[in-house]
Amino acid sequence: PCAPSLPGPCPPPLAPRVPTPPAAPRVPQVPPRAEELSELYRELSQHPGLSTACLGPDLTTQYGGKYCSLYTEWSQRDLARAENIKFCRQYLIFHDGASIVYSGPAGTCSEIKDELLSRESPSGTLKAVLRKVPGKEKEKEKQFLEVWDQNRKVKSIDLTALDKHGSVYDDDQFGCLAWSHSETHLLYVAEKKRPKAESFFQSKAPELGTSDEDTGHPKKEDAPVKGEQFVYHEDWGETLSTRSVPVLCVLDIEGNSISVLEGIPEHLSPGQAFWSPEDTGVVFVGWWHDPFRLGLRHCTNRRSALFYVDLTGGRCELLSEDTRAVWSPRLSPDSCRIVYLENNVLGPHQQCSRLRMYDWYTKHTTTVLEAVPRQAWGAFPGIYCGALPGMCWAADSRRILLDTAHRSQQDVFVVDTATGTTASLTGDSPQGSWSVLTIDRDLLVARFSTPSCPPMLKVAVLPAAGREAQTQWICLQDAPPVPGISWGIRTLQPLPEQEHPQYVNYRGSLGFGQDSVASLPGNVGTQDVHDVQLCVERVLQEETLDASRVALVGGSHGGFLACHLIGQFPDTYRACVVRNPVVNIASMVATTDIPDWCLTEAGLPYKPDALPDPAQLTEMLHKSPIRYVDRVRAPVLLMLGEDDRRVPPKQGVEYYRALKARGVITRLLWYPGNNHALAGVEAEADGFMNMALWLLKHLQC
């Protein structure tokens, strides 16, 4: 239907008029001007997103009351500067241990400049900051590791000058900035230092006196290596193109010294590290990178395991099974247990995960929650999250908090690790998307949003075990809803001929059980496409909508669906906008960072050493939108990120050429410096404007 993001409804047809002399000519309505659309986008882009929250230590007033500070970080688009900016805001929370007595903001917002990572120490008295500093003149950008106390900066260490490693990782896939329990050391992940390389024909200024070789001195360790200048270095794919060989690094704060940890097997890439109990060593996740690296972002099916490396002897010990995919380890407040998430290797990139727990002292691993095959209405849906919250343990070191897809929304659950029982903390709250930001001393901080409501900041006190349903959420930072948007969740039953013989419906989405996830591989291009078409037809039957003005907008797999729909059901759709769409699985398999996805979704086995045979390539082509390009009539707008490693832009170009050759109205927007998400400020703003104008033009709103 007419673009829902535009202000106001589509104009109704003009009613007949009785002519009266003198008859004034009727002026046809014109679509909103680009200026109006840009003003709308400018207004909507000012809504900030909430990313981080950290609770300070409890303090006591002179009257005996307890309070603590809440530090939050937000992001916002700055259209004038064409960049995303970060800012912080602080709040005060007064509580009595059982409920929140008062909460409110403290001071105004303040922009955060050049901070890559930050982390408060366990006591809350120190803060570590990784900061980037622009180089002077022709110098490269530098990285500094700073330590602040409550009054001043007490340390500033130039990591670039020390030259112990490459750039520090600030991503949430490998990266960490972890304080030791003693607060004397900091742990982080960085790129391994590479030897300097130069041309075979690099000229050097002659040196006076005898050479090192003449005097018998050994060659300097950092002397450039010839022949290595153009060696290819594998990376970890989409958004991780500068990540190749991570190493664990430790900063001795008092001694101002950095050491790169040894003892980690060479076939592993370490990350997500933290200090073991009593600071005897480091616990980390290790990803196998043999025979070659695959894309890791949003891929929770890569072979990995939990390890411990001893700081004194350098011994590396396996803590989990080594035939699974594990991530997101979290140490309990009493330092006795580690919970982590676990998936099967390969298969769908995101699955219903298991929650596992390792006992540090008994060395015993238990399964707290198994994958849920089929979600029963009102029951726990299973775990479908990219990561556990950084702080997820309750004060009792028994319960943990997590957020997960729950059918068509996202809810917060508490899990008792001793019994495996679960309870919803948001079941009686408004429908929408709930995310846990942190929990500390049973003070819980969360984010809530809906399709019509920007992110809001919520706080609560976690009730005692067994009483979690009594959780009382308090809004710390409200956000008015965007006017003119209504939404709801509908449950539809597919037609009998579209039922899956083995699995349940809706099929392929997270939040409905593992069977739903497992139903899609081998059925892409049919099951998922027919499900969407059924929804469109049902809504058109039940709502007062103009069936002659239906458009499609989708990205990635959503773009795959959109391109399928305009080819398989050309009479339904009048316009289409796709962002980095999968168009031809057969041609994508050799260029993407996730070739396993191409075969898995086509229902074929994946092996790193196997090449697709002609029959497999035919099957992938058969399930691709390009198969139906001869039937497309709707005008198509394509938006492509030049640096997309997940769905390379040649996919969209292939579709563009096929449409042009068949006389279909099409336009292609090419965004340099943007990857799969097209999340750059300029690209996002330009994409919004072009999408809105395209829909207005071809839907004739």
- pLDDT attached to residue 238: 97
From first CA to last CA, the distance across the chain in angstroms is 10
Residue 643 lies in a domain: yes
Angle at 301 (CA atoms; ends 299, 303), nearest 5 degrees? 120
Mean pLDDT of 592-607: 97
- pLDDT attached to residue 378: 85
pLDDT digits (tens, 9 = 90+) for 664-673: 999 999 999 9
Of 82, 104, 238, the closest CA to residue 173 belongs to 238
% of the chain surpassing 70 pLDDT: 92
Instruction: Judge whether 448 and 456 are in contact, CB under 8 Å.
Output: yes
Residue 23 lies in a domain: no
What does the block give as tokens for 62? 């002179």
Instruction: Judge whether 132 and 114 are in contact, CB under 8 Å.
Output: yes
- pLDDT attached to residue 475: 94
Residues catalogued as catalytic: 556, 644, 676
Residue 134 lies in a domain: no
Confidence of residue 206 (pLDDT cuts 50, 70, 90): low
- pLDDT attached to residue 501: 67
- pLDDT attached to residue 499: 75
d(CA 300, CA 604): 19
- pLDDT attached to residue 6: 30
d(CA 161, CA 238): 29
Q: Coil, strand, or helix at residue 253?
A: coil
Domain around 661:
520-700
d(CA 322, CA 319): 9
| Strand bridging mode 304-310 / 316-318 | antiparallel
Phi, psi for residue 528 in degrees, rounded to 5: -65, -40
Of 525, 508, 528, the closest CA to residue 620 belongs to 525
Q: Does the pLDDT value for residue 550 go beyond 90?
A: yes
d(CA 36, CA 22): 33
| Strand bridging mode 246-252 / 59-60 | unpaired
Could you give the C-alpha distances from 583 to 43, 188, 217, 675, in angstroms and in order?
A: 34, 40, 60, 17
DSSP per-residue codes, 180-218: -TTSSEEEEEEEPPPPPEE-TT---PPPSS--HHHHTPP
Torsional sign, CA 690, 694, 700, 701: negative
d(CA 554, CA 560): 8
Residue 540 lies in a domain: yes
d(CA 461, CA 95): 9
Residue 548 lies in a domain: yes
Burial of residue 482, with CB atoms counted within 10 A of its CB: 0-12 exposed, 13-18 middle, 19 or more buried:
middle
pLDDT digits (tens, 9 = 90+) for 133-153: 998 877 889 999 999 999 999
Tally the residues of the chain. 701
Mean pLDDT of 112-131: 96
Residue 499 lies in a domain: no
Confidence of residue 223 (pLDDT cuts 50, 70, 90): confident
Instruction: Judge whether 349 and 597 are in contact, CB under 8 Å.
Output: yes
Mean pLDDT of 590-605: 97
Strand partners, 127: 120, 148
pLDDT digits (tens, 9 = 90+) for 8-63: 333 333 333 333 334 444 444 445 578 999 999 999 999 999 999 999 999 998 88
Strand partners, 148: 127, 153
pLDDT digits (tens, 9 = 90+) for 275-291: 999 999 999 999 999 99
Long-range contacts of 284-290 (CB under 8 A, 24+ apart): 284/248, 284/308, 284/309, 285/326, 285/327, 285/329, 285/340, 289/234
CATH number of domain containing 579: 3.40.50.1820
pLDDT digits (tens, 9 = 90+) for 626-679: 999 999 999 999 999 999 999 999 999 999 999 999 999 999 999 999 999 999
Q: Residue 435's CB: how many other CB atoms inside 10 A?
A: 20
% of the chain surpassing 90 pLDDT: 82
Residue 559 lies in a domain: yes
Q: How far is CA 491 from the centre of its chain?
A: 27
Residue 231 lies in a domain: no
Confidence of residue 1 (pLDDT cuts 50, 70, 90): very low
- pLDDT attached to residue 31: 52
| Number of domains the chain contains | 1
